[in-house]
Structure 1
């Protein structure tokens, strides 16, 4: 896997380390990014993907039958 070097403010790096409970800033940032991505995938799984919006909006705009 390719590595990327990112510069962070030291206060931000320390706060991230404390929140993540790690000893190195790199581990802390990696954990937080992985968690962020996992949350995004879980949200997509619950709410559907962008392609589903078109399919569902057609059904919602159709008049209801039986009234």
Structure 2
């Protein structure tokens, strides 16, 4: 896989390292990016499930009032 080099604020990276509980900046940033991607996939799946459920609902005509 291709590698990319990114410059980030050191305080930001240290905070991510502490929150993620990892010892290297590379691992911390990689965890954050992987989590962000996974969260996006979960959101897409939830939206697809909800849209599918809406399509599956049978629309019943209202009873005529007389």
- When the two structures are superposed, what TM-score results if normalisation uses the length of structure 2? 0.74
Q: Which runs of 5+ in 2 are unaligned?
A: none
Per-residue deviation at 1:47? 0.9
TM-score (norm 1): 0.73
Aligned length: 57
Distance 2:61 2:37 in 1: 41
Q: Does 1:43 align with 2:43?
A: yes
Structure 1: distance between partners of 2:40 and 2:8: 23
Larger Rg: 2
Query: Runs in 1 of length 4+ with deviation above 3 angstroms?
Result: none
Deviation at residue 6 of structure 1 after TM alignment: 0.3
Root-mean-square deviation over aligned CA pairs: 2.1
Gaps of 5+ in 1: none
1:65 Cα deviation after fit: 2.2
